[in-house]
Structure 1
């Protein structure tokens, strides 16, 4: 491991909570895809499979920020354990219902309840921020490392989920995802020394973190990128199924994640220059361009190559986004702020999975790759229109930059003025 990556792990407990977070995040790449594979294998209905995946994502979009807001107020241990118990129970009931051939509405009730799944990535990144908030370079590397972990998860998760569902029994993928979630939450919450301290109600202040203009723009952009991700997953599974090699879909999707993983490792070693908002816009634009090749492929191997190239754009964009959230959202609402990014992704995944599933049913898998391409263009348009809101206040209000400390507060709740008090808490 190169020096910048060694440096972030010098603080006690960092290796342990990062490893626990990796275990707890495995459902991120396994659960939705496992449900799609399980339902399509049992019923043969991709429309139903995509709709269930969408329901799971939408439920997570509603519940996730509220869970994280409770975490900011009460702490990770007190909130995550009971929430995880509800999620695991709901998934267990879903698997029994599928095995028993229950009506469709039972499946939807179960996946809606499973939407309480906590955002483990936000929990881990909040711990990194609490430890390295005084060192932007170390925090950049830590966020890059966690993005790499995310991509490793997206390499391993589809292989496990799709592979087990197709080679063992249909419910095996979601079952293992539930086991990973339970184990990860227990391991993470057992580590009290690195848990960010809870913030009293008065520190949380005026309502949701989504009222921060920059966060609202980024969440909207991530709806588009989430649509891209959800559509790519469903389209790839269907593309492989049409060619008689459904189990190979996991390897094709793994190539997508591998590209992002490699890009994230390199990006974590760099010290990017210029405005983070400009880098974020560039990253989203490159993601859009990278969705052209999948429209043109005709076999699984060329699709794997096209998705590998597309994956190279993902991790740098994600790392830049996390850095922007850390800069622009008050520390007392950081976990919620990071979760709103995940919520934007979840809403997009819901739309992408559902739209792609219906296009597959009506026109075939190749046509479904138009869904992520269009979604990427929409994400770029939102990023361009909202780019000015993503810059720190002193860049947005340059004429007032030398007007004194009182003029350096903004819609983020006076970040500069409250920095000392928040760092005292953290």
Structure 2
């Protein structure tokens, strides 16, 4: 690609010196902040107006599931018509949905009305994270900086999910129960429109032309389906850890240390993400993913048996350290598996898989904790990662770059996006190409 970076070095310095990067990084950071504020903002508002955590959880879960199911469709439309064309109406629809949800909650509307509004609110959530990743892929092409970009985005996501809930909670408890969602809507509107205004950095639109092959979803790429399973397992770790740590600390009478333990877990994830981006990898991404995922599954094994708080914190730190390499490498593989015409969609499938895995794990961990004790909830991350690892090992051949089956648009685009099949011996060379 003409926009690809030619620098052969890795690391954050060369990455952040990529021409035009800051034009989408800063508004992208602002626009993705509300993503982490929505769920907790809904829980705090609905619980305050109904007095029921069950109702609040149902509304929040409905929003999350709608977000996960509709995100890939948003990505597909962005690939076809451009990010700006999808983002602007999506931002306006989301702000309208959040506003309606606030009004209904304050008016003590029945549950069915809250759920009815929660669906479009979640479905219209702007997928800024995947859009930023697609811009990196378009900007860097086959540059060795792609793993660094994936690491940078992973750290940014983790930082967002540390800051966002804290900000929303402070606003809801310190100002008004609806203040968190008001801030979420305001940031979505301002950040989303600023990000959409950055036209020069958005990936090119791949429109179908006469004689082109039919456009196919990124889901038709076998490697993407394998990665979705892997990301479901990663979501199971996030959801299982959140619920199980909460249940464990309440059981031992120290609910105040829940934030500390989860902070250690999230901190390990951030530290590993930073390290992954600073390393010049000599091992191919497929092999890195298999090793990292195996370590993640192994790290979750002792969680259910730990009863001492310091030891639980240490194990949680190790789990966090193992998540980032698997997550980052999965995103990195998209660039070699999926043509440019379907990359935003592919990224949204992976983001949605994490959200679905997280929601399912939170529910399963809560049920196990209620019936069999708080430690049993930690079996969910173990089961999720073990099953995903089995699928990864069985279908690892699909993670090698090969000729794409996804139509990229015009003949020039198709020629540019075709990736020849490679052997395991050439994986290292391809990773550094």
Would you call these one fold, judging by a TM-score over 0.5? yes
Alignment CA distance shift 1:14-1:57 (3 Å): same
Runs of at least 5 residues in structure 1 that lack an aligned partner in the other structure: 394-408
Alignment CA distance shift 1:296-1:91 (3 Å): farther
CA distance in 1, matches of 2:107, 2:189: 24
Shift of 1:146: 1.2
- Work out whether residues 225 and 376 of structure 1, in 8 Å CA contact, stay in contact via their aligned partners in 2: yes
Alignment CA distance shift 1:133-1:278 (3 Å): same
Q: How does 1:24-63 map to 2 (within 5 A)?
A: 24-39=31-46, 45-63=52-70
Secondary structure, in 3 states, of the residue corresponding to 2:204?
coil
Shift of 1:17: 1.0
Q: Deviations over 1:295-351 (max 9, x none)?
A: 244476654443322111122112111111110001111111111111211221221
CA distance in 2, matches of 1:283, 1:228: 14
- Work out whether residues 53 and 354 of structure 1, in 8 Å CA contact, stay in contact via their aligned partners in 2: no
1:112 and 2:114 aligned: no
Alignment CA distance shift 1:93-1:78 (3 Å): same
Secondary structure, in 3 states, of the residue corresponding to 1:313?
helix
- Work out whether residues 221 and 404 of structure 2, in 8 Å CA contact, stay in contact via their aligned partners in 1: no
- Please tell me the root mean square deviation across aligned C-alpha atoms, in Å: 3.0
Greater CA drift, 213-222 or 274-283: 274-283
In structure 2, the residue matched to 1:396 is none
In structure 1, the residue matched to 2:331 is 322
1:227 and 2:229 aligned: no
Pick from 121, 127, 132: which aligns with 2:140? 132
1:306 and 2:315 aligned: yes
TM-score by length of 1: 0.85
- Work out whether residues 33 and 233 of structure 1, in 8 Å CA contact, stay in contact via their aligned partners in 2: no
1:98 and 2:108 aligned: no
Alignment CA distance shift 1:252-1:204 (3 Å): farther
Alignment CA distance shift 1:307-1:42 (3 Å): farther
Alignment CA distance shift 1:41-1:232 (3 Å): farther
1:194 and 2:193 aligned: no
1:158 and 2:161 aligned: no
Runs of at least 5 residues in structure 2 that lack an aligned partner in the other structure: 1-8, 419-433
In structure 1, the residue matched to 2:131 is 123
Alignment CA distance shift 1:99-1:23 (3 Å): same
Shift of 1:228: 2.4
Alignment CA distance shift 1:255-1:181 (3 Å): farther
In structure 2, the residue matched to 1:333 is 342
Alignment CA distance shift 1:101-1:294 (3 Å): farther
In structure 2, the residue matched to 1:255 is 264
In structure 1, the residue matched to 2:88 is 81
Alignment CA distance shift 1:181-1:232 (3 Å): farther
1:277 and 2:283 aligned: no
1:288 and 2:300 aligned: no
Shift of 1:422: 4.7
Q: Deviations over 1:386-420 (max 9, x none)?
A: 21211223xxxxxxxxxxxxxxx354669999664
In structure 2, the residue matched to 1:216 is 225
Alignment CA distance shift 1:332-1:307 (3 Å): same
In structure 2, the residue matched to 1:67 is 74
- Work out whether residues 50 and 353 of structure 1, in 8 Å CA contact, stay in contact via their aligned partners in 2: no
Q: Deviations over 1:46-98 (max 9, x none)?
A: 54444433322221222111111111111111110111111122122223333
Pick from 20, 33, 43: which aligns with 2:27? 20
Q: Deviations over 1:224-259 (max 9, x none)?
A: 222222232233344455566656544443322211
- Work out whether residues 238 and 365 of structure 1, in 8 Å CA contact, stay in contact via their aligned partners in 2: yes
The size of the alignment, in residue pairs, is 406
Alignment CA distance shift 1:365-1:91 (3 Å): farther
Shift of 1:215: 0.5
Alignment CA distance shift 1:360-1:63 (3 Å): same
CA distance in 2, matches of 1:213, 1:167: 48
CA distance in 2, matches of 1:86, 1:105: 20
